[in-house]
Amino acid sequence: MQWIDIGANLTHESFDADRDAVIERARRQHVVQMIVTGDSIAGSGAAIELARQYPGALFATAGVHPHHAAQLTAAGLPVLRELLRQPQVVAAGECGLDYYRELSPRESQLRALEWQLQLAAESGKPVFLHQRDAHVDFIAVLREHRPALVGGVAHCFTAAAGELEDYLGLELSIGITGWLCDERRGAHLVELVPRIPADRLLLETDSPYLLPRDLKPKPRSRRNEPMYLPHVAAAVAAARGESLEQCAAYTSANARALFALCATQS
Ligand SMILES: [Zn+2]
């Protein structure tokens, strides 16, 4: 079995002391490829740098998270365009709208999203999308840009059935995290995950965030790691009534197809 973690924030400072060991541990659990999320121009540069050290195993996204949207100016666009050209970069993002925390003003978020969808279309790479409490604005912008995009993923999907239908209607893929393993916040996802077509489902840890709540024993640090991806997968497979082998086969094939990941040896 081979697993692919399509969203790991491996440049996060919580990995500074043992990043290589974290990657090694993941690979021992057959998490053979990981996509390192870029969340700002500097963060995307760091993600690319890390991916360069693990050719064929680590890849990167390049983009500006809605939290940092106010930092993205027109002057930053040529820089972002250049980052998107790097061979390690397999998606534009993470980009989107977050009205839940609203760390950047909504106008900045909308402008940064529009810009990045244009850059994604230009690059021919899929988009890595983040949305929280902003569905109406988000889906309106996406509908407008979708024809020019090659594809994309609604990463860390935690919302309700209507939002899922909207994403699927736009032929987007859906990223499922350990949110599903939370019996309080994730109960509705147990009902929704079986409704995702097998060719649209992707797995991610969103490490170091979203440590699966039912993980036993839990690390004292409460830090999530890509090595826990098979735990998330087990919850997905159980919800869908599939074997782990089936789940590994189609989710890995989906990730390789959407992000055009080159095959790996291990
Ligand atoms: Zn996100």
How many angstroms is it from 14 CA to the middle of ligand 1?
A: 17
pLDDT at 264: 54
Give pLDDT < 70 ranges for the chain: 263-266
> How do residues 185-214 score in pLDDT, each as one tens digit?
999 999 999 999 999 999 999 999 999 999
pLDDT at 266: 43
How many angstroms is it from 156 CA to the middle of ligand 1?
A: 6
Residue 99 has φ and ψ, to the nearest 5°, of -95, 0
How many angstroms is it from 264 CA to the middle of ligand 1?
A: 26
How many angstroms is it from 7 CA to the middle of ligand 1?
A: 9
Residues with CB under 5 A from ligand 1 (ion): 130
How many angstroms is it from 109 CA to the middle of ligand 1?
A: 14
pLDDT at 64: 98
How many angstroms is it from 100 CA to the middle of ligand 1?
A: 12
Spatial contact of 153 and 126, defined as CB atoms under 8 Å apart: yes
Spatial contact of 164 and 195, defined as CB atoms under 8 Å apart: yes
How many angstroms is it from 78 CA to the middle of ligand 1?
A: 23
181 token code pair = 């393993």
> How do residues 48-79 score in pLDDT, each as one tens digit?
999 999 999 999 999 999 999 999 999 999 99
How many angstroms is it from 183 CA to the middle of ligand 1?
A: 21
pLDDT at 262: 80
How many angstroms is it from 95 CA to the middle of ligand 1?
A: 8
